[in-house]
Structure formats: structure tokens, C-alpha cells
């Protein structure tokens, strides 16, 4: 599904996870990461959104980087996923399906039941906020 022109909040919300997933396939410079995200249907990713994410992941130890000489152009900073980055991505993968299912349930226009936690609290005789 291509979300070009869709809600930019969705892209911002998953950009870290998706960047890790792209880099799990192999080292790449930022522009290549952006191209792979767009090819996957995430939509065009601006450098102003992507590079702070990559730099933060590097500061957190999820990525390393090295400068690579450019062939006929400027050098590029190439990012590589670390073991800590792979572990972080695996944790994100495990949590994705339950999270996506919860969002899908909330967005279902045909579901008018109260949220599960509120309903459970009422059944147990408790109050809900």
C-alpha cells in the first residue's frame, strides 16, 4: 500500500522502525534508505525527517556509520545496523502485530463497542476514567 499523500503522522510514527528494517537488509547511506522506504510504499521521506532519526539511532548504539568516498561526487555517510539495533528491531517486530491490530480495532467504523479495558473494568465492578 502506497501512502503517498496520506497522513504524514503515520510515516513519522513508523520511521524509526522502518529505517531499522531497511538497514537490517544491509548497510546504506541515508538517500538509499529513503529510496527503499519509498519503493516499499511508505511514501517519499524527506531528509529533514530521516537524518535526525538515523543520527538518533546512531547515538543510541543501534547503528554505526562510516564515511565512504563518492565516485565522482561527495562522500556519503553509510549506516550499518549493530547487534543492539538488531535486538531493537526484533523487539519492534514482536510488538508490531498486536499494536497494528489494536489500531485497526480502533479505526473500525463498524465497531461501536467500548474499548476492551473500559469494558473489563465495568464487568469487574471497577470505575473507568
| 10-residue mean pLDDT series, the chain (129 residues) | 62 94 97 95 92 97 93 88 98 95 90 63 47
Please give the span between the terminal C-alpha atoms of the chain, in angstroms, as a whole number.
Answer: 36
For the whole model, what pTM was predicted?
Answer: 0.78
Nearest to 27 by CA among 73, 64, 75: 64
Amino acid at each position: 500500500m502506497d501512502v503517498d499523500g496520506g497522513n504524514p503522522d503515520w510515516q513519522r510514527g513508523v520511521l524509526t522502525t522502518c529505517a531499522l528494517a531497511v538497514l537490517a537488509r544491509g548497510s546504506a547511506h541515508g538517500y538509499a534508505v529513503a529510496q527503499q522506504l519509498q519503493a516499499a510504499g511508505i511514501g517519499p521521506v524527506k531528509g529533514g525527517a530521516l537524518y535526525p532519526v538515523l543520527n538518533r539511532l546512531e547515538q543510541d548504539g543501534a547503528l554505526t556509520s562510516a564515511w565512504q568516498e563518492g565516485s565522482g561526487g561527495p562522500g556519503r555517510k553509510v549506516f550499518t545496523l549493530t547487534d543492539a539495533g538488531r535486538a531493537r528491531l526484533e523487539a519492534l517486530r514482536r510488538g508490531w502485530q498486536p499494536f497494528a491490530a489494536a489500531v485497526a480495532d480502533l479505526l473500525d467504523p463498524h465497531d461501536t463497542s467500548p474499548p476492551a479495558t473500559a469494558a473489563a473494568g465495568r464487568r469487574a465492578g471497577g470505575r473507568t476514567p
